[in-house]
Amino acid sequence: MNFTITRKNLHQGLAAVSASIPTKTTLPVLSNILLEATDGQVRISGTDLDVGVRTRTPAEVGQEGVLTAPGKKLQEIARELPDEPVQVTSQGDQIELRCGRSRFKLNGLPADDFPNLPEVSFEEGWNAPGQVLLSLVQHTAFAVSTEESRPILNGVLWELKDGQMRMVATNGHRLAKMTVPAGSSAQGGAELIVPPAALQQVQRLFEKENEVHVGRDANHLGFRSGNTEVYTRLIEGTYPNYEQVIPKDNDKWAVVDRESFASAVRRMAVVASDQTHRIRIGFHQGAMRLTVLTPDLGEGEDEIEIQYEGEPLEIGFNAAYLLEVLRYMDTEEVKMGFKAPERAATIEPVRPDGEEGGVEYLCLVMPLRLLD
Amino acid sequence: MFFVQVARLEDPEGVGRTPLLMVGGSPSGRGVITSASYEVRAYGVRSGMPTAQALRLCPEATVVPVPRGACAERSRAVRSVLEELAPVVQAASIDEFYLDLSGMERLLRGESLEETAHRIRRRVLEGTRISVSIGGSTRKMVAKLAAGEAKPAGVHIVPPGGEAAFMRRFRLAQIPGVGPAFLSALEAKGLSTVEDILPVKLTWLERWFGSTRGRWLYHRVRGEDPSPVSPGEDRKSVSSERTFPRDLVDRAEMERALLDLSASVGRGLRKRGLRARTVTLKARTTRFRNRTVSRTLPEPVESDTALFQVARELLASVLEGRRPGYRLLGVSASNLVEAEEGAQLALFQEEAVESERDRILSRAADRLRTRFGEGALRPGRMVEPNPRGREEDTDGA
């Protein structure tokens, strides 16, 4: 193998892939990236076996070939090289880089040891505008569970049906759901449970302005945009029936200024228990009263103006969950809905009529039980 | 000695008259000595020693089982006497208490700390017939070590300002909180006594043993211990473990043992109004290797069902790819929260590790056991399979 590439292209390609390389691995070849020089381009791939990234970059290929080499080291070298063409040559399992007067030799491993990225067909997939896909990911992926006890909740549910595209994530205590019109791009239905690590790569690598092609096989999903592809295994199983837990009969509504609500919750959180993050919120006509009482620590209280008409209501919350949800609401005001202190509360953005654009965003937060 | 004293009080005509007395498990199985009389200790017998070995050292000794109920009762009696005499009493274990006498200076005017200690010793003896040893100091750790110096049946007071000098007599292994791992790290640096450590600068201790441990040790060897005497010492964990008369190799048998241990931990939690987020399984192999695995749950649990469920999964992970053969199993619950403190409600009831039903069931079982005795209710799984081999459904709760 032998090719010449600009330093910039080499570095960009390596940077795109190296984030998919696991930091700790029992399989040494996974610390490496796969370089494949073919007709006028170099393909660079990296994977941790769950998520894989592949990118193509133009190069002057003298002799075609494949090789694996230590990903992070290559990237660090490419970053430090002068801005001149880089000549890359393989010598057995070693890779040699020459750039100006610099020369490096790194030990690689046989390319046969490198795992194959899934063969996902993009022909039968669908397209999504980058902006839409990235917005769905950004507004939901934060809510996935990080506990190992319920693997299914470690993924984001991605649904395509009835001309709509939807992502849902939950850890069983709070839930985020966003629905957008899918347009004509998505034919047929799909229900996929996607590891958030793959969606993070999508967020990191793809541009809002570009269309993203999505392809799948039975167990894998692939994203392609521009010269870059992200592959992931899908999480198997049935996602819990989230529709069932979304309250339909909430009858108490509060409209709250998002920023002043969030800062009041942050203040209360300082004195909340490190374990439960429990704060108490009282909804009264025109006012929200926040209190916190933590044995052995102390107490705090605060009040902000809100629009609220219903009967007074006292409800306990994990402050961390509230703050997280509020961070992803991108409107000045949010609307909260309740039925009773021990039922799920809804939080949604308040947009002026006609500005929704068919986008629905809803978060649920399950309260903490209050004793007295 | 507490256990020996209680055993004697329980049977004054029998073991009450035996000087060579040991309290502990049976020598035929894997029992260990809980406590031995001073006469037996002269033969080299120590607590924690296998009973069979202890009997080889002192064949004439009598071994009696630990009178558990009586011990708990006597311990409560000692505590209530102590509570009459001191404003703050902390039970450190069944036979160890800390008293904080601060604030009693005016009441105790004219009485030295030594005289006070002797008076407390007399009162406990009169009220409970238990003879205690008392150590006194301005610091908890020093008082504990002083109590050791006071044995048998005496008083040892370390005068204020004399803490550092008092500490000089100890080996590092004697300092409460210095465990085997720390000890071998210390020995690797050639440090085995308090005297060895005193000339070492704090920065070196921090560099060698980490900043927390280094600093901790630096202060302890100088008799400095900031911890207060607190009556409701926070519990860090509730656990239960058992050494089996013979090694367990059968999975079903191990699971039965786990069910029993989980139930005992569950009862311990509920009795104290606690829930646990972390469940730990300890398994000691035939070759004395300890395997410890734990899992932290999304929500704290308290029911036998949930604890057992997690313990069983942990056991499966321990057994995976390993040859079975375990002499000891233990279940421990930690990361504790008050049961009612801000319980997080779940969106998906069926997904929860523990349902409201599990909790109600466990609490109902507790009430039945309190009323009709420990054996009143047992999980079907715990019933031994029919020896005549008739098939019976022994599964379920």
> Which strand (E) or helix (H) includes residue A259?
helix A258-271
pLDDT at residue number B218: 92
Report chain A residues whose CB lies below 8 A from the CB of B351: 150, 153, 172, 240
Give the range among B36-45, B139-148, B286-295 with minimum mean pLDDT. Answer: B286-295
pLDDT at residue number B353: 78
CA A351 and chain centroid, separation: 24
End-to-end CA distance of chain A: 74
Q: Across the interface, do A366 and B345 touch by the CB < 8 Å criterion?
A: yes
Residue B346 forms contact with A (CB below 8 Å)? yes
CATH code assigned to A126-241? 3.10.150.10
Backbone phi and psi for residue B89, each to the nearest 5 degrees, phi listed first: -125, 130
- Token pair, residue B159, equals 């005068």
Residue A238 forms contact with B (CB below 8 Å)? no
Q: Across the interface, do A366 and B353 touch by the CB < 8 Å criterion?
A: no
pLDDT tens, residue by residue, B42-93: 898 888 888 888 998 988 888 888 887 888 888 888 988 888 888 888 888 8
Q: Evaluate whether A126-241 and A246-365 have a shared fold.
A: yes
Residue B343 forms contact with A (CB below 8 Å)? yes
Its CATH architecture, for the domain A2-113, is Roll (3.10)
Report chain A residues whose CB lies below 8 A from the CB of B307: none
pLDDT at residue number A187: 61
Higher pLDDT, B214 or B29: B214
Q: Across the interface, do A368 and B298 touch by the CB < 8 Å criterion?
A: no
pLDDT digit of tens for each residue in chain A (372 aa)?
Answer: 999 999 999 999 999 998 888 888 878 889 999 999 998 999 999 999 999 999 999 999 999 999 999 999 999 999 899 999 999 999 888 999 999 999 999 998 888 989 999 888 888 888 899 999 999 999 999 999 987 778 899 999 999 988 899 999 999 999 999 999 887 665 668 899 999 999 999 999 999 999 999 998 889 999 999 999 999 999 999 999 999 999 999 999 999 999 999 999 999 999 998 878 999 999 999 999 999 988 778 899 999 999 998 899 999 999 999 999 999 999 999 999 999 988 999 999 998 877 777 899 999 999 998 865
Residue A170 forms contact with B (CB below 8 Å)? yes
The residues of B carrying an active-site annotation are 96
- How many residues belong to chain B? 397
Q: Is residue B241 predicted with pLDDT exceeding 90?
A: no
pLDDT at residue number B48: 80
CATH code assigned to A246-365? 3.10.150.10
**Identity of the highest mean pLDDT range in A185-194, B202-211, B342-351:** B202-211
| Helix, strand, coil share of chain A (percent; to 5) | 25, 40, 35
pLDDT at residue number B233: 53
pLDDT at residue number B340: 64
Do residues A212 and A147 make contact, with C-beta atoms less than 8 angstroms apart?
no
Q: Across the interface, do A369 and B351 touch by the CB < 8 Å criterion?
A: no
Output b/e per residue, B325-351; b: 16+ Cβ within 10 A.
ebbbbbbbbbbbbbbebbbbbbbbeeb
B346 to chain A, closest Cα gap in Å? 5
Domain ranges of chain A: 2-113, 126-241, 246-365
Range list of β-strands (E), A171-249: 174-181, 190-194, 211-216, 220-225, 228-233
Whole-structure pTM value: 0.63
pLDDT tens, residue by residue, B268-305: 888 888 889 899 999 988 887 888 899 888 778 999 99
pLDDT tens, residue by residue, B3-15: 898 988 888 888 8
Residue A143 forms contact with B (CB below 8 Å)? no
Do residues A350 and A335 make contact, with C-beta atoms less than 8 angstroms apart?
yes
Other Cβ atoms less than 10 A from the Cβ of B75: the count is 20
Residue A313 forms contact with B (CB below 8 Å)? no
Question: Closest chain B residue to A245 measured between Cα atoms?
Answer: B347
Give B 352-381 residues with CB within 8 A of chain A.
Answer: 352-353
CA B55 and chain centroid, separation: 25
Q: Is residue B357 predicted with pLDDT exceeding 70?
A: yes
Candidates A195, A179, A202; CA nearest to A357 is A179
3-state SS, B333-374, equals EEEEEECCCCCECCCCHHHCCCCHHHHHHHHHHHHHHHHHCH
Q: Return all residues near B388 (Cβ < 8 A) that are at least 6 apart.
A: none
Report chain B residues whose CB lies below 8 A from the CB of A268: none
A369 to chain B, closest Cα gap in Å? 5
Report chain A residues whose CB lies below 8 A from the CB of B350: 240
Classify residue A112 by its DSSP letter: G
The alpha helices in A50-129, defined as continuous H runs, are 71-80
From B297, B340, B351, residue closest to A240, measured CB to CB: B351
> Which strand (E) or helix (H) includes residue B148?
helix B140-150
